[in-house]
A and B are shown apart, each in its own frame.
Chain A
Amino acid sequence: MGESKDSVAEERPKWDNKVQYLLTCIGFAVGIGNVWRFPYLCQIYGGGAFLIPYLIALVFEGLPLLYLELAIGQRLRKSSIGVWTSISPMLGGVGIASMVVSFLVAMFYNTIIAWVLWYFFNSFQNPLPWSQCPLNESKTAYNTECEKSTPVNYFWYRETLNITPDIESSGSLQWWMVLCLATAWSVIYICFIKGMESFGKAVYVTATFPYLVLTIFLIRGLTLPGATDGLVYLFTPDWEILKNPQVWLDAATQIFFSLSVAFGGLISFSSYNAERNDCERDALVVGITNSATSLYASIPIFSILGFKATTAFNNCRQENILTLTNHFDISDQNITLENYDKWFNYLNLTHPGDMSTLPLKVCDLQNFLDQSASGTGLAFIIFTEAVLEMPGSQAWAILFFVMLFSLGLSSMFGNIEGVITPLRELKLVPKWVPHEVLSGIVCLLSFLIGLIFTLGSGNYWVEVFNGYVGSVPLLIVAFFEIIGVIYVHGMKKFSEDIYFMTGRKPNIYWKACWMVISPTMLLVVLIAYVAIQATKYPTYPAWNPDYELFPETEMKPYPDWVFGIIVLLIVMPVISIPLVGLYNLICCGIKKSSVKASPNPYNNEAFEIETEEQKKQRV
């Protein structure tokens, strides 16, 4: 028995050391969302006040789910499909659902990495290509689309995406995007080529480099003028916002998606651990580091946004000064930014008629600070614009995009791991296929299907995937995970497992969360999320140069066939849960007898009684 156990342990890869394991889990959890979603939520939900629902969600939902996944993976020593099949063959569908979701998310997430790479490639020029408008065809004026919006918007929507006016017009493959996507998948392949041996080494860099860059940006950001305005704006708490249920919902979903649970990747990673490893401490480390990183990232982001708002405010006033100086023939530089207000009031009193005819802009710092964005808008529009104003723009742009690339890459490791290892366990792939070939096939297949996102309408499809694949199916999978472990596997058995691994039984906090609080929270979040999505017909912002209110985005409803695809994307991963359950029910007879008949190789009843007696003896 001992010998066969050793041979099984030899086949399963192991982490080189604890640090590698922790860095991989942290890298998986900490992704681009920590940088471009959390600060945005902080901003729109009353700054410091948002931290309260966020931390409550972390404590009662995030950490219990994380601990559960790490513990069950480490105990059963299999990836997501193996774990759920071991607990009960009826739950095998949960593992398949995780795998499908991981695959779908991997495809669109790598497109975002391809966009980051494109911006990275374009940062090696002076001047930066998003700093000026190109000329139109007759070279007499600037390109009209660019003139109406801004050079930064034009570079993102036209030169990067070459976006079509709506999701129905697909456009053609954008060759430069195809090249960037190919590069992104090649880098993933080279990191995954030998499985854990290769990405385990890569993770030392990809998981730590973002912290270095964030620190550099923190120091640079805090020394920029206007940084304090941005920070004050971010952290000023608006306690009234806590009465809005949407805030609590967003906090719960943010924690959930931020920790990357229910993807199956975390189960795989912890299954490579030694059997007796303190997974409780690991879960706390990963969970708290993830939230701390979000907070840490929002400081440089908001310093830089504050700087951008201040610069825009000053430019606005400078234009007004020029208009006033020209009109009233005032000596150059008599009106400055400092005495602008005094001059403005004086001129209003002495020449009210003239002043009303002048095309003066209204410059309000609060307005500029209110310009918020999350996601791609933050990274590719707002941040790139801010970088233009900083001395040494190229260096800052390069650093920023390498950081985003690194964050995305380490998250992709978890996604791909959640696809490849379950494939092996499903025994769909014959054993003689080496790891290099399998990961090559997965990468190639994902690249080919992912070419959808390089079409003209690609960005709209990324939003569809992001909004629907990466949300409801994960909530459903997580709900079944927690029910599966606590109620099917049994709280008693699970406590024994944890006692075996960590040397102590889970305390009342964990038990209360797992049995009652977390499932209830998950269910409430799921129902609320679906309800909110179902009440309004889904729309999307389209970039349409022919729109009357251009450069504002036009809100268009999804056409029916896209709506059908959305429903398909939500149903496809989760359909395997009832399907596998039904299949097992039909082919294996009555549910209860079949479950008790198949012995669980990892839980011998005798062993359990023994440990209880041993414990009594010790006491």
Chain B
Amino acid sequence: MLSPINLVSLVKKRQFFIMLFLLQYEWNRNEKFFFQAAIAYAMSIHLKQEFSVSDVLVCNETPRVSFWFVVTSPANPLLLIDKANVEMAVRKSRNRINSALLLSDTTMEFVGAMPTLAAPVIPATPPWLIVFGVVIGLTAAGIVFLLVSTVVQKKRKKNQKADEEDDDEEERVKTVENGSRSDGVYNASFSDDEPNTQM
């Protein structure tokens, strides 16, 4: 049979000291109930047993808002769950407990528990590569478009020039070969003089 002193030390070994800070609400019985429910939820997930709110015992509350709590087994109310299991449960569901109480890792401290390091989410492709891909894609497309349009314009100019040169040559050729009245402006004064020169 366990002596009272042993019982106390046993309980103390399994107790968790918790400190809350910068609460956005007043700490009262309802909030305490919410906390107990959150811990019961964490324990249920971790040990895969059904814990209820009455299995989480809170004691020694101070207005600092700090208290001790222990968790009893649902099957046997006299059996206390050991610290390691409680710690694991809390670590697993720390995120949910934090958001339930509107607190964070810095404002709710489980004294003696290893701090859970919120591992930063590493997505499959680094997001910066995606943005880089978009920017370089647009730039490359722009460069290709401008280069191609310049080449096309130059080709067009060459063709135009070739056409113009051909036209010039044809015109010159025409005036040399034909020299007919239809290409020039008829000078009427010459024809007026004709009757007068018949002397």
Contacts and interface: CB of A to CB of B under 8 A. Distances in A.
Nearest to B145: A190
Given A194-B150, A198-B146, A329-B64, A139 B21 contact: no
18 contacts: A120-B131, A125-B127, A139-B117, A176-B128, A180-B132, A186-B136, A186-B140, A186-B143, A325-B64, A326-B19, A326-B64, A329-B66, A330-B64, A332-B20, A332-B22, A332-B27, A333-B22, A436-B147
Interface string B109-128: 00000000101100000011
A480 interface: no
A418 B62 CA distance: 74
Contacts of B19: 326
Interface string B183-195: 0000000000000
Interface of A: 117-118, 120-122, 124-125, 127, 132, 134-135, 139-142, 176, 179-180, 182-183, 186-187, 189-190, 193-194, 198, 322, 325-326, 329-333, 434, 436
Contact of A190 (B22, B62, B119, B142): B142
Nearest to A188: B139
Contacts of B130: 124
Nearest to B66: A329
Contacts of B179: none
Given A125-B127, A135-B117, A332-B64, A183 B135 contact: yes
Q: Which 3 A-B pairs have the closest CB atoms?
A: A121-B128, A331-B63, A121-B131
Interface string B86-120: 00000000000000000000000000000001011
A190 B147 CA distance: 10
Contacts of A183: 132, 135-136, 139
A132 B64 contact: no
A132 B132 contact: no
A331 B26 CA distance: 11
Nearest to A328: B64
B22 A194 contact: no
A176 B22 CA distance: 42
A125 B117 CA distance: 20
Nearest to A193: B146
A254 to B, nearest CB: 33
Interface string B125-167: 0011111100110011011001100100000000000000000
A374 B117 CA distance: 34
Contacts of B23: 332-333
B143 A193 contact: yes
B150 A322 contact: no
B11 interface: no
Contacts of A322: 21
Contact of B128 (A124, A140, A141, A434): A124
B117 A182 contact: no
Given A325-B64, A329-B62, A332-B65, A142 B117 contact: yes
A177 to B, nearest CB: 12
A314 B22 CA distance: 14
Contacts of A193: 143, 146-147
A401 to B, nearest CB: 11
A141 B131 CA distance: 31
